[in-house]
Structure 1
C-alpha cells in the first residue's frame, strides 16, 4: 500500500453506467516519484478510471487509495492533493490566462500573493508568459492544453492525473511536456498519464498499466519492457550480404518495402541480443545502413497482448 506521500493503489475496481460496465476489474499501483502510463484502446475504461481517482465518480466496488485517502469517502482530502487535467478543454474565455490560474488558486484557498506568484511561475513553465495578459479565447488548442496543465499544477499537488495531455501540442511542446513531467516525478510526485501516443510514453513513463474492456490485462515497468522480444528493421548495402549473414547466424527475417527501400524485419529476444547481432554484422563487414526497433517498447507489449483480451 501507499501513504500520504502521493501514491495510488487500485484493487478490484469496477464501475457501471446502467447496463454498460465501463470498468470491470482493474488493479494497479502508481508509486510516488514515478510516471505511470495508463494504456488502452478507446472504450477501455481509462477515462472512467481517471474520474474515479479524481473523486469525480465513485467505484461500485473495489478499493481505491489516492495519497492514502479514499476518493469516495474523503473527496476533500483527495482533491486538495490531486491535480486533474481532463481530456476535454474548458476555459473561461473572458479571463486572461493569468486570471484563470489565479481564480483556480483562490478556489484552493491560496492567498492573493501566493496564487499570483504561482500563476506567474506556471506560465513560464508551460511557455505561456507572453499570453498571460491576453483573453483565454485567443489561445490555440495547443496553448489551451498547456494552460490546462498549468491549472492542474496551481496548488502544487502531490498527485497529477493527466488524460491525453499531449493532444493538440506541437512537437516542441511535446518535448517540453516530457521534460516537465519527468521533473515533477523527480520531485517525488505521483504522475499518471493516459495517452494513445505510445512513442511519447516510452520517453516519459517508468511503468505502464494496460487496460482493455474495463480490465487491467498487464502491469509492466519500462525496464521489463526493454528485456522483452522486440522487432527490428535492418537495412544494408547490399541487402544480399545482409540476407546471407542473417541466414548464417540462424536469424529468420521478413522482407518489407520495395526495391527502392527494401528492409528486413527480424525478431530478437532482448536489447542485449540486438546489440550482439549489430556488432557481429559490422565485424563481419556487412555494411549496415539502418538498424532500429520497429516500434517502442510499450508498443511492442501492446501488440503482443492476447488478442482475445484486446
Structure 2
C-alpha cells in the first residue's frame, strides 16, 4: 500500500447521480514523487473521481486518503494540500491573469507580498508573463490552460490533480507542460493527470490506472507497459519482398492500407524480438523504409483492454 503521507489511496469508491452510477468500484493509488495517469474513455468516471479526491464531491461508498487526509471529514486540510486544475479555466474573465492568481492566493490565506511574488513566478513558469496584465477573457484556449495550471500551483501544493491539462496547447506548450510536471514530481509531489492524449502520457507518467464504466480495470507502471506485446508497423520497397521475407520466417502480419502508403502490422513480444526481426529483414536484403511501434506503450494497454471506446 502506498505511503499516505504525500500520496493518494482510493479504495472501493462509488458515486451515483440519481439513477446514473458514474463511479461503481474504483481502486486508485498515486505515490508521491511520481506522475500517475488516469486513463479511460469519456464517461468512464475519471472526472468524478478527480472531484472526489479534490473534496468537491463525497463518495457514496469507499474511502479516500489524500496526503493522509480524508476529503469528506477533513476537506480544509485536503484543499490546502491539493492543486486542482479542471478541464476549463472557469475564471473571472474581467480580471487580469495576475489578478486571477493573486485573488486565488488570497483565498488560500497568503499574504499580499507572498501572493504577488508567487503570481509573478508562476506567470513566468507558464510563459504568460507578457499577458499578466491582460484580461483573462482575451487569452486563447491554450493560454487559459496555462493560467489554470498556474492557478492550481499558487499555494505550492503537495498534490496536483489535473484534468486534461494539455487540452488546447500547441506542441511547444505541450513539451513545456511535460517538463514542468516531471520537475514537480521530482520535487516529491504527487501528480495525477487525466488525459486522452496517450502519446503525451508515455512521456510524462510513471504509472497508469485504467478505468472503464466506472471501474478500475488495470494498473501498471510504464516499465510494465513497455515490456508487453506491442504492434509494430513496417514499410519496405517493394512491399512484396517484405511479405515474402515475413512469410519465410513464419511472422504473421496484417496489411493496412488506410494510411497514405501500404504498411504491414506485426505483433512482437519484446524489443529484442523487434531487433531480431529488423536485423533479419535487412540481412535478407529487404529495403526497409519504416519500422516502428504502431502506438505508445500506454496506448497498447488501452487498446488491449475490453473497454467501450468512443
What is the Cα deviation at residue 309 of structure 1? 10
TM-score, normalised by the number of residues in structure 1: 0.96
RMSD: 1.7
CA contact (8 A) 2:4 2:65 kept: no
| CA offsets 1:141-197 (integer angstroms, 9 cap, x no match) | 111111000000001110000001111111111111111111111111111011111
**What is the match of residue 56 of structure 2?**
56
**What is the match of residue 190 of structure 2?**
190
**What is the match of residue 238 of structure 2?**
238
Whole-Å separation in 1 of the counterparts to 2:73 and 2:283: 64
TM-score, normalised by the number of residues in structure 2: 0.96
What is the Cα deviation at residue 108 of structure 1? 1.0
CA contact (8 A) 1:2 1:68 kept: no
What is the Cα deviation at residue 3 of structure 1? 4.4
**Does the residue aligned with 1:80 lie in a helix, a strand or coil?**
helix
**What is the match of residue 257 of structure 1?**
257
Whole-Å separation in 1 of the counterparts to 2:308 and 2:139: 43
Structure 1 gap ranges (5+): none
| CA offsets 1:177-220 (integer angstroms, 9 cap, x no match) | 11111111111111101111111111111111110111001111
| CA offsets 1:265-299 (integer angstroms, 9 cap, x no match) | 11111222112211222233322110111111111
Q: Say which is worse superposed, 252-261 or 32-41, in terms of deviation.
A: 252-261
**Does the residue aligned with 1:202 lie in a helix, a strand or coil?**
helix
Whole-Å separation in 2 of the counterparts to 1:4 and 1:303: 32
What is the Cα deviation at residue 5 of structure 1? 4.0
**What is the match of residue 124 of structure 1?**
124
CA contact (8 A) 1:2 1:67 kept: no
| CA offsets 1:213-253 (integer angstroms, 9 cap, x no match) | 11001111111111111111101122222112212221111
Please show how residues 28-107 of structure 1 align to structure 2 within 5 Å.
28-107=28-107
**What is the match of residue 303 of structure 2?**
303
Whole-Å separation in 2 of the counterparts to 1:178 and 1:300: 21
What is the Cα deviation at residue 12 of structure 1? 0.5
Give the number of equivalent residue pairs.
310
**Does the residue aligned with 2:143 lie in a helix, a strand or coil?**
helix
